[in-house]
Amino acid sequence: MPAPNIDTIVSLAKRRGFIFPSSEVYGGLGSAWDYGPLGVELCNNVKQSWWRWLVYERDDVEGIDSSIILNRLVWQYSGHEATFHDPLVDCRECKSRMRADKLEGYFPEGDQRAEFDANARLRAGLVKCAECGSTNLTDERHFNMMFRTMLGAAADENDPSALAYLRPETAQGIFINFLNVQTTMRRKIPFGIAQVGKSFRNEITPGNFILRTREFEQMEMEYFVRPDAEHLKLVDEWVELYLEWFKGLGIDAANLKLHEVPQEELAHYSKRTVDIMYRYFPERPEEERQWEELMGIAYRTDFDLRSHSSKPTDAEGNRINPDSTEDLSYFDETTKQRYYPHVIEPAAGVNRTVLAVLMDAYSEKTNDKGETRVILKLSPQLAPIKAAILPLAKNKPEIVGMAKAIKRSLQPVLRAVYDDTGGIGKLYARQDEIGTPMCITVDHQSLEDEAVTVRDRDTWEQERVKVSDLAEHLQKRLKPYPNPLPEPV
Ligand code: GAP
């Protein structure tokens, strides 16, 4: 049973130290969230799982960490300055500001996006406000979603030479480093470059907790292949691999589905994109409104490497990029050909993965007293804490000493905590609610038999284990940890 809605997770996340509304002491900041002690562990575990899976376990992927602020020209030649915008409209009745292309009536039925005049439709009253249903809307304006900043203390606000952007995707940092990585690591096509890090978009309508925020984290990989590779098949292969990875994180396949992005909605760089969707809104009665994008897998062609290269020319023979000083082409020793590699790009969001994982792990169980308890059935590899060591009598120094010693001995092997802040029932309930797979109780008997009680989060079953066997026992029980691995392509 996954969470019935996102609000259930918002409340659990705040109550238990996963995620807090940001800047609360000043009344908050719309759609910004801070990750607390357990949230940062969960995010790190998601990122580590991804990094291990791609960079360590495969033999054809390297990792990098590029700057968030890049030369403005990167965004000019990537196409983001000209095309990374959303159409914005205001409702004259209720004063709401919205993305026009998400409104009922915006697209003519069965028509292609390029073939219609949106403002004519808006003026004719064919488009409806999402808030109040009025058709009294303004013309659309294009709003570039990149956050602007000025470089240098003395820079004038209007000086175009000082203008810079916070990156709206991590991908461009990979493209501009393609040759650096390829030559220094002596890589041959096909190979991939992975990067995880923050991206920023001035979203018109952020919302739904951490699903759509202006600051978020991405896990992106650009997989470089030969121009004649079977690109569309490769997209499907990466889709399958990611489905397995998500399932390995504990997400039920029933809550995942694929969405082939229609041609007219493709990003400017994409020839094909398949989105993996998660059921973030199970409470919505219409099945098709329950889903939202978790990640996308795009075939980006050679668009980016070409755009950033100094040599390619247009139909008139003019260089398409007169500012670049490098040619990002690749010489293929096997075919003796020089070309711009094509790219398959799986692009996932850390925050959306975390939300999907939390929603899917949520469950409720009734105890002997008829009380409902929340159990967060997180996969052991993702659980912020793997084992909690709980003394049965906190006023008995020998028991407390033994419990603390066990915590210290487990720490090098797995993340463990010591907790004596309540009665045992309360302590178990708290650990169940934050997803700790194992609780270890030290009692009076432990002082005599050098054994402890190990309690399982999901079944509440208990067993007695010798302290000397504890680390090995826990590691076995915590499988799959550190990571279940899908087969590489
Ligand atoms: N480089 C390609 C790219 O950035 P995208 O579909 O725009 O593609 C990839 O973004 C993923 O990043 C999304 O599937 C989503 O998981 C995450 N993402 C994008 N915008 C987001 C936002 N405003 N808030 C949270 N996550 C976001």
Ligand 1 centroid to Cα of residue 175, in Å, is 17
CB 486 within 8 A of CB 248: yes
The three-state (H, E, C) secondary structure of 35-96, written as one string = ECHHHHHHHHHHHHHHHHHHHHCCCCEEECCCCCECCHHHHHHCCHHHHCEEEEEEECCCCC
Q: Give Cα separations from 3 to 62, 255, 359, 469, 484 (angstroms).
A: 36, 11, 5, 36, 24
Matching residue, tokens 């800047």:
23
The percent helix, strand, coil of the chain (3-state, each to 5) is 30, 25, 40
Angle at 299 between CA 297 and CA 302, to 5 degrees: 140
User: What's the average pLDDT block by block, 10 residues per block, for the chain (489 residues)?
Assistant: 94 97 93 97 97 95 98 96 90 92 85 73 93 94 92 81 94 98 98 98 93 98 97 97 96 98 91 98 96 98 97 95 97 96 98 98 93 95 97 94 97 94 95 98 96 96 96 88 56
Best probe residue, ligand 1, of 147, 198, 218 (max atoms within 8 Å of C-beta):
218
Q: Give Cα separations from 287 to 255, 277, 291, 347, 410 (angstroms).
A: 11, 13, 8, 25, 46
Res 85: pLDDT = 87
Q: Give Cα separations from 23 to 33, 132, 296, 446 (angstroms).
A: 8, 30, 31, 46
Cα first-last separation, the chain: 33
Ligand 1: lining residues by beta carbon, under 6 Å? 169, 171, 201, 203, 212-213, 216, 218, 220, 293-296, 345, 347-349, 351-352
CB 291 within 8 A of CB 304: no
Res 481: pLDDT = 63
Residue 37 tokens read as 């002690």
Which residue has its alpha carbon closest to ligand 1 atom 21? 212
Q: Phi and psi at residue 228, in whole multiples of 5°?
A: -95, 15
Res 480: pLDDT = 66
Give kind and range of the element (H or E) at residue 292. strand 292-301
Which residue has its alpha carbon closest to ligand 1 atom 6? 296
Ligand 1 centroid to Cα of residue 318, in Å, is 34
pTM to 2 decimal places: 0.93
Res 335: pLDDT = 94
